[in-house]
Structure 1
């Protein structure tokens, strides 16, 4: 694994930042031609050392996780057991324990009862909710792999940091992360790593 640091990622004192993390294929798709559950170009790279180290950086320093309903319910079926598994990779377990213990905000129009402890359900515009979170509290806010929320936050120019995993596969079709019509913005590459299988872990900070 090779690593290149291209800028400063610490020492900012501008207040609470909003981060987001997502993995995409080389052609920018977070799911393949089979629909939202087709993660064939993503999953094989999720358990590499590069991905696990990247995951640790994603959650460290964040005190609020923001999720869409689908991810909240899917994560609930997996991560709590990892948090209790003494044989799990320590990086996976660290993330799992953070996710279980941290404050969670879940966007949903359907749920009437929170699927996790320490969870608040919201049915409001993403920009309003994230704007409120950004203006209050301490620690960073992590929009945790929930594409609908990430897209809305990008459209409202509310993201301060973007963690991207790019896998060396072309899906050919499927859903893209970056839709047409987003507001123009400039980003600084502040960290770059290359894994042994050709996957990339990138960190971009919004330049304002």
Structure 2
């Protein structure tokens, strides 16, 4: 059974997006080593999943990007969970309109590499509430946003299983549900 892995960028004060929903601020902390680590993580994925908003944010960008992240983002199959998205033009993408938990459980039973979640906050919170995420891989960056969007909307006990520090001060922590 393959795992559902979430990788999110987070500020020291616990925000994954600024107060306007912006999420480009973590790029200031990416050096060659952190970039290589993230590219390897994305390349190992057998499937990328996301909600409609993340799809709409990413689909216009990645097909023409020259970023080191572009190849795994474009080549890996993707599933968008949405009842309102009419079509998915990003290659290797299909839309799922049914029950989120049922489809995730079905996808976990398939062969292949891990399933990587690309969040929007609301999508990730729905996965968390349904206890579908097997690992939370959080990059905590040495900055405080002061306000913004939080990853968690309810209490959740987590167990730390790995921690690595990067020269930028970013700490990569992997947690499993407790």
Q: Shorter chain as normaliser: what TM range? A: 0.7 to 0.9
Pairing partner for 1:200 from 171, 174, 178: 171
Task: Map 1:126-145 onto structure 2 (within 5 A).
Answer: 126-145=100-119
| Rg larger for | 1
Deviation at 1:206, TM superposition (A): 4.1
RMSD: 2.1
Are residues 1:53 and 2:24 paired?
Answer: no
Pairing partner for 1:191 from 155, 159, 163: 163
CA contact (8 A) 2:34 2:166 kept: no
* Structure 1 unpaired stretches of 5+: 1-14
Q: TM-score, normalised by structure 1?
A: 0.76
Are residues 1:36 and 2:18 paired?
Answer: no
Task: Map 1:1-208 onto structure 2 (within 5 A).
Answer: 15-33=1-19, 35-37=20-22, 39=23, 41-45=25-29, 47-82=30-65, 85=66, 88=67, 92=68, 95-180=69-154, 182=155, 184-196=156-168, 198-206=169-177
CA contact (8 A) 1:24 1:167 kept: yes
Deviation at 1:205, TM superposition (A): 3.6
How many residue pairs align between the two structures?
A: 178
